[in-house]
Copies of this chain bind each other. A is one copy, B any other.
Amino acid sequence: MSALWSTDPRDALRVTDSFDLTGFDRASTPGFAGDKAAAATLMAERGELLSELQERLYAQGRSGAAPRVLVVVQGLDTAGKGGIARHVMGMVDPQGVALRSFGVPTEEERAHHYLWRIEKALPRPGQIGLFDRSHYEDVLVVRVDNLVGPEVWGERYEEINAWEKQLVDDGTVILKFAMMVSKDEQALRLMERLDRPDKRWKYSAGDLKTRSQWDAYQEAYADVFRLTSTEYAPWYVLPADRKWYPRVAVTEILTRTMIELGLRWPVPEWDVAEQRRLLAADMPAPVLAASLAETAAVVGEANAQSMEIANEAAELLAEGRGGTAAEEARSAAREKTAQLEADLAATLEHKRALLQDKDPALAAETPSSPTPEKKVGKVKKSKKGKK
């Protein structure tokens, strides 16, 4: 499926020195070789991968140090920012996601430095945070509406860069997405909000004022891209006239970024066999036998699913890097498979011994739990349905 991306979307969308917002085609689909239907299929597939990666991130966060992932989404009214929250973040466990939207600052917020409310809203380690608007409003609406003078907002680009640098140094991954619609497409979408009784609540009479400042906003965005797209926190500019494109692009970039974090399930600080022995001591023999009988199937399926994820991740990594790195990733995946199989064998042996101690007769009756046939091709069902 990933052959749908002829170019890594990070390369296709990252702001370069020669980037020109004026000539930017907002109906284009850079790097993507498929249509809307192909995008939907790919998103569902990536959703499963992303869902597992997010769970690993969350698990790491629970057991101590973990990266935090901050997704910044900017764009004018109707660009589709809410759709990213709903359709991309909606694919992963809501418990691991922190959504924040930034509107007009409150009185308390205005009394502080403009980064104060942003800092407070940062995702915790192990979380994916999504900012619907962000500190960039302080060089966008603030600049366009002259809420402060150019001597003030003019200093902010460097300040933002320095602030983001520190976040990245402290273990935050920052992904910045700007959704760019054309002026005509915005008109069509605003008109739809006026026409649909179920969407009128999204319209505000202020939207037309902002629209009337179109050119000033485009200039302000161009400066944002020119001045704050850094190596450690680049901007990805998404053509947004086709609603499906930004969604599939953000999904892909987030997925690839999370794969490269090399997330592993945390290693327990307690001893598995010891805890199993203690728990088994507190289980009636028939319950332990029931647990033993289902072990091979349950753990085997979970392992197969983990390996499928690992393999998909290796494939994606391979695409971007080729040669040695790809072979290393595949070799790591093979090693992981062997580890999981050995772990399951040890689990079965241990549980059988525990049951034997508790009730030899029952142990003799309990099926020997053969390792199930490989199900790697079969476990395509959503991870969301698995938990």
Evaluate whether A82 and B62 lie within 8 angstroms (CB atoms) in the complex, with A195-B299, A268-B200, A287-B187 already known: no
Interface size of A as a range: 35 or more
Copies in the complex: 2
Cα separation A270 to B344 with both chains bound (whole Å): 64
Closest to A196 in B: B302
One digit per residue, 1 when the CB lies within 8 angstroms of any chain B CB and 0 when it does not, for chain A 278-311 equals 1110111001101100010011001101100000
Which secondary structure characterizes the binding site on chain A?
helix
In the assembled complex, A83 has its CB within 8 A of some CB on chain B: yes
In the assembled complex, A216 has its CB within 8 A of some CB on chain B: no
Q: Please, which residues of chain B bring their CB within 8 A of the CB of A59?
A: 201-202
Cα separation A33 to B220 with both chains bound (whole Å): 60
Q: Please, which residues of chain B bring their CB within 8 A of the CB of A95?
A: 82, 85-86, 99, 101, 132
**Contacting A275 at CB < 8 Å: which of B194, B198, B280, B283?**
B194
Q: A306 near B93 (CB under 8 angstroms)?
A: no
Evaluate whether A268 and B201 lie within 8 angstroms (CB atoms) in the complex, with A191-B279, A291-B187 already known: yes
A77 to chain B, nearest CB (A): 12
A210 to chain B, nearest CB (A): 12
Q: A89 near B94 (CB under 8 angstroms)?
A: yes
Q: Please, which residues of chain B bring their CB within 8 A of the CB of A287?
A: 184, 187-188
8 interchain pairs (CB within 8 A)?
A55-B198, A86-B384, A90-B93, A94-B94, A188-B287, A192-B298, A194-B276, A195-B276
